Amino acid sequence: MIKIKEKFIPVQINQELCLRCERCLRVCKAKAIYFEY
């Protein structure tokens, strides 16, 4: 299992990551999340 850290800070959004799930996409559209793998 891969641990995914969610950081709710205003940063540049990676659209490809956003499109992988609806919940992530909704938050990404608000430009409030960044994924660090």
DSSP string, 1-37: ----EEE-S-----HHHHTT-HHHHHHHHTT--EEE-
Phi, psi angles (nearest 5°) of residue 35: -105, 135
The confidence score (pLDDT) of residue 12 equals: 57
The pTM for the full model equals 0.22
1-37 pLDDT, tens digit each? 566 666 655 455 566 666 566 666 566 666 555 555 4
The confidence score (pLDDT) of residue 16 equals: 64
The confidence score (pLDDT) of residue 9 equals: 53
The confidence score (pLDDT) of residue 27 equals: 64
CA atoms within 13 A on the CB side of 27: 17
**Is there a contact between 22 and 29 (Cβ–Cβ < 8 Å)?**
no
The confidence score (pLDDT) of residue 34 equals: 55
The confidence score (pLDDT) of residue 25 equals: 59
